[in-house]
């Protein structure tokens, strides 16, 4: 089993899928729109929601991000989309050139919080917020840092 990041958007999921697919050199992209399966005639979706993304996945370098839109007509059930700091995607990869490439692509149109640099906890660490308001953390050796700190505490 693995944990997968799942991002919700407010009608811009398809643009996010395109952006992340390119930025992360996706190996496979799958997406289903609400119009792609039969609608319940008793509860038809408004026309503007049929082209929204119901479910998608972007697979890259051993990772996966799943993405969908929250339907405005379902806000009473799902709640309104709130952008915030409660989700952060962490990319851990020992290959520093790959981290640098992802950082460069994901920062386009976004904001660099901390440029990639050598820190006491990582030889290559950085943070950014992308153009969709999603926070990203990059770390070349997170596992080694955790293992070292834990073993020194024992």
Q: Kindly state the percentage of the chain with pLDDT values over 90.
A: 56
- Long-range contacts from 114-123, C-beta under 8 angstroms, 24+ separation: 121/145, 123/96
| Domain 1-82, second-level architecture | Roll (3.10)
Q: Cα–Cα distance between 57 and 29 in angstroms, integer? A: 6
82-105 per-position pLDDT tens digit: 876 667 898 988 889 999 999 999
In the predicted model, what is the mean pLDDT of residues 21-26? 97
| Domain 84-153, second-level architecture | 2-Layer Sandwich (3.30)
**Which pLDDT does position 1 carry in this prediction?**
42
Say yes or no to pLDDT of 130 above 70.
yes
Domain boundaries, the chain: 1-82, 84-153
């Amino acid at each position: 089993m693995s944990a997968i990041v799942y991002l919700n958007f407010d009608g811009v999921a398809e643009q996010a899928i395109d952006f992340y697919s390119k930025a992360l050199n996706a190996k496979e992209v799958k997406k289903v729109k609400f119009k792609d399966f039969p609608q319940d005639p008793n509860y038809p979706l408004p026309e503007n929601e049929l082209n929204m993304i119901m479910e998608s996945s972007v697979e890259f370098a051993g990772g996966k991000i799943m993405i969908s839109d929250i339907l405005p007509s379902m806000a009473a059930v799902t709640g309104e989309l709130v952008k915030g700091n409660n989700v952060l995607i962490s990319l851990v990869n020992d290959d520093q050139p790959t981290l640098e490439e992802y950082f460069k692509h994901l920062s386009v149109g976004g904001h660099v919080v901390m440029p990639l640099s050598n820190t006491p906890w990582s030889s290559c660490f950085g943070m950014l917020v992308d153009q969709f308001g999603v926070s990203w953390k990059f770390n070349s050796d997170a596992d080694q840092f955790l293992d070292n700190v834990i073993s020194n505490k024992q």
